């Protein structure tokens, strides 16, 4: 009997355990959701996670990103627009310069134009002047004229202390402005506050020309470097004012004197472009003289290009590394090759005027070599091909004697 009771209790216990084992487990809470954004570390460590605040934070960031992106797109579009506008302006300037050159070339006779005139250097056709300036007036002038801008460049006759009537039409082929915050698209006058700190430039001579005006005691308003234009009077600065010109034998009816009260504001003058075809008087004597000069030019090139020429310390050269010591600070051979490439081939003796101008540009090259006396201004002023050739001959002979070491330029 007792055995039966024990068996019954074991059965009940097993049934109870089976019931417990098959009972459904308690439901656990769903796992806490975490953010998968890269900026999850922005939440303070240990702070409770708030799903609503995270959504608001994400929305704010999205709005901020969209605003930043829109601003950047606007900046890029403005930059591209400025670049395109600047490029279009330069293309128009170059096209205008080419149109100016074409109109002159197409004219069979003398062509009268109005151009600003600056007394700077006896630049000749195809000569290239490169450099930089910090002169505020010249900086503004170059920037205002812009790429392709043209003006007349002339020089000073040192003997008479007057301005030469003859020069060249100079074209601006490079203007690199530093330190300027001015709007390049504006055509208004530039104020002193927008003056660039420096301007690098490249200017090339194109056609020979002459300032028109009275043949005697002529005065005209042009640009010239004078100490009086410096408010402190310490250095020469570019300014505009009336200057006296070299007299000429033939009276010219046209006279252009521009009026202005400011010495830093430029004005235009009447300039006659010289027609080289009609001017080149190819007389028998002129052709013979040009032919005679060809061996002299070849001799000059040979001596001036040879670096050993300058081992002789008696040879005067403005580009010596140090006075009284052999050697130059430039490669004379490379310089003259570059100059000849820019000047183009030697004109034939049948064009004696062009021949003389080309020869003067060769013996007085830019950049300067400093082995010959200055003949460019005199060649520009001389009347007739024969006189121009005579000036070139004197310059060649004297320079050859210097390069040979026979007679230095300072003797």
Residue with tokens 């009336």: 242
Angle between helices 284-305 and 332-343 (to 10 degrees): 150
pLDDT tier at 263 (50, 70, 90 boundaries)?
A: low
Reported as a single tens digit per residue, the pLDDT across 31-77 is: 444 333 333 333 333 434 444 444 555 556 667 777 887 788 877 77
Question: Is 129's pLDDT higher than 80?
Answer: yes
pLDDT at 275: 84
pLDDT at 191: 42
* Percentage of the chain lying above the pLDDT 90 cut: 55
Angle between helices 352-363 and 332-343 (to 10 degrees): 150
Question: Is 385's pLDDT higher than 80?
Answer: yes
Residue with tokens 């630049």: 123
CA distances for 403 relative to 317, 372, 391, angstroms: 9, 9, 19
Give the DSSP letter string of 119-188. Answer: E-----TT-EEEEEE--HHHHHHHHHH-TT-EEEEE-EETTTTEE-SEEEEEEEEEEEEES--S-TT--S
Reported as a single tens digit per residue, the pLDDT across 207-222 is: 999 999 988 889 999 9
Reported as a single tens digit per residue, the pLDDT across 348-360 is: 999 999 999 999 9
- What gap in Å lies between CA 21 and CA 34, rounded to an integer? 34
Q: What SS3 state is found at 361?
A: helix
Answer yes or no: are the C-beta atoms of 369 and 335 closer than 8 Å: yes
pTM over 0.85, yes/no? no
Give the mean pLDDT of 361-386. Answer: 96
Going by C-alpha positions, the residue among 59, 192, 70 that lies closest to residue 136 is: 192
pLDDT at 82: 56
Reported as a single tens digit per residue, the pLDDT across 314-335 is: 999 999 988 888 989 999 999 9
- What gap in Å lies between CA 190 and CA 192, rounded to an integer? 7
Which is higher by pLDDT, 129 or 91?
Answer: 129
């Amino acid at each position: 009997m007792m055995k039966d009771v024990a068996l019954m209790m074991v059965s009940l216990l097993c049934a109870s355990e089976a019931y417990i084992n098959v009972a459904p487990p308690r439901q656990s809470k769903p796992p806490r959701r975490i953010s998968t954004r890269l900026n999850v570390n922005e939440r303070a460590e240990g702070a409770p996670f708030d799903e609503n605040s995270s959504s608001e934070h994400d929305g704010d960031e999205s709005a901020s990103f969209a605003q930043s992106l829109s601003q950047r797109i606007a900046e890029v579009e403005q930059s591209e627009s400025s670049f395109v506008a600047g490029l279009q302006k330069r293309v128009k300037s170059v096209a205008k310069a080419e149109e100016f050159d074409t109109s002159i070339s197409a004219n069979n006779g003398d062509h009268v134009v109005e151009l600003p005139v600056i007394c700077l250097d006896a630049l000749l056709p195809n000569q290239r002047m490169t450099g930089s300036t910090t002169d505020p007036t010249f900086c503004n002038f170059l920037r205002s004229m812009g790429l392709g801008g043209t003006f007349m460049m002339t020089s000073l006759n040192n003997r008479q202390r007057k301005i030469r009537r003859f020069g060249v039409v100079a074209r601006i082929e490079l203007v690199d402005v530093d330190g300027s915050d001015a709007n390049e698209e504006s055509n208004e006058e530039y104020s002193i506050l927008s003056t660039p700190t420096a301007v690098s430039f490249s200017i090339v001579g194109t056609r020979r020309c002459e300032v028109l005006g009275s043949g005697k005691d002529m005065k005209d308003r042009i640009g010239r470097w004078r100490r009086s234009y410096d408010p402190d009077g310490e250095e020469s600065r570019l300014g505009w004012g009336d200057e006296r010109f070299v007299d000429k034998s033939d009276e010219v009816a046209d006279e252009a004197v521009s009026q202005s009260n400011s010495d830093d504001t430029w004005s235009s003058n009447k300039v006659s472009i010289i027609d080289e075809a009609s001017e080149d008087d190819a007389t028998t004597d002129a052709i013979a003289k040009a032919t005679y000069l060809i061996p002299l030019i070849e001799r000059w090139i040979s001596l001036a290009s040879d670096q050993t020429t300058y081992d002789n310390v008696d040879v005067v050269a403005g580009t010596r590394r140090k006075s009284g010591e052999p050697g130059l600070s430039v490669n004379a051979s490379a310089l003259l090759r570059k100059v000849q490439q820019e000047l183009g081939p030697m004109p034939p003796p049948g064009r004696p005027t062009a021949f003389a101008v080309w020869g003067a540009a060769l013996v007085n090259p830019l950049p300067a070599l400093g082995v010959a006396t200055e003949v460019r201004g005199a060649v520009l002023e001389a009347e007739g091909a024969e006189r121009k050739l005579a000036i070139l001959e004197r310059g060649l002979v004297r320079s050859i004697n210097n390069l040979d070491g026979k007679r230095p330029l300072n003797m």
